[in-house]
Amino acid sequence: MAIAAAYWAMGVGNSFTKFEKVEFTSIYADPPTMANPGNYTVYIILKNTGSAAATIDNIFLNGRPWDTGYTGVSQTNLVNQTLVAGASTTNALILLPVDSPTWGHGNSVEVVIHTAAGRSYSNTVVLP
């Protein structure tokens, strides 16, 4: 009976200790190319190393929301994505328009990933 109670207590304790932890596995930027002449392309790979799923609900670029803080910025495979524990994103992209005075050669861009749990994870990339 005591063994069964101990297993039950460990199970209850483990259910309260689940957490998300999103890490940047990779972040880099490419300059405009023939295939994508009007944009800098920022490539991001994230991994959830925590024990609970993490749902990305927003991206901030230099402290401003990507969709309302700037014009012409787009993203793929990032917002509204849920990363289960141990999972990684694949080819998440942020496109920054070249014709904007905000984005230019040598500028640093702080990318902050915000999750539905209220946590923020950041990294910085320099535009080539």
Please say if the pLDDT value at position 34 is more than 90. Answer: no
Q: Is the pTM of this model over 0.85?
A: no
pLDDT digits (tens, 9 = 90+) for 36-94: 788 999 999 999 999 999 999 999 999 999 998 899 999 998 999 999 998 888 778 99
Please state whether beta strands 64-65 and 54-61 pair in parallel, antiparallel, or not at all (unpaired): antiparallel
**Ordered structural domains, the chain, with CATH:** 20-126 (2.60.40.1890)
